[in-house]
Amino acid sequence: MERPCLSRRHALLLPASAAGLGGLAACAPEDQGFGTAEPLRAEEGSIPLADVPENASTLVNFGGQQPFVLLVRGTGEDVSAYSGYCTHNGCALRQEETELDCPCHGSRFDATSGEVLVGPATRHLPSVEIVVEGDQIRRAS
């Protein structure tokens, strides 16, 4: 299985520890892979770390209320998370490569930072607390 690759543009948006020079060095300029088109489903409220690609962003459905979370993984256990819901009016976002698109009114967000790229949304995606325990990622609380 080919490892997803982070574009140089989006690597610049990640903290240095997440971008990892080793990960960037392995990326060919033509590589476009980045997360998945369909959200991953986290059974039992957690997801194996191995199922979340390194140097990429991946939407995950953790189940229950507010289930969609964008995981931004650098290397190893370096994972941060953002809400997978539009800040305009709360619609669930869809991932399209390096962006998250809102099907309701067309807002777009950067999939590495949660920044608004196109309105009507004006607020970035809020951070979500997650915990990496052993080989699992789960939401905090």
Enumerate binding residues for ligand FES (CB under 6 A). 86, 88-89, 91, 102, 104-107, 120-121
Q: Which is nearer to ligand FES, 40 or 91 (CB)?
A: 91
* Nearest distance in Å: CB 120, ligand FES: 5
- What is the amino acid identity at position 104? C
Query: Which lies closer to ligand FES via its Cβ, residue 91 or residue 117?
Result: 91
Residues 6+ apart with CB under 8 A from 10: 34, 98, 110, 111, 112
Give me the residue label for tokens 């959200």: 39
Q: How far is the CB of 17 from ligand FES (least distance, A)?
A: 31
Q: Give the residue carrying structure tokens 């033509």.
A: 30
Cβ closest to ligand FES, residue 89 vs residue 127: 89
Shortest distance, position 134 Cβ to ligand FES, whole Å: 36
Instruction: Identify the H or E element spanning 58.
Output: strand 56-61
Minimum CB distance to ligand FES, residue 24 (Å): 32
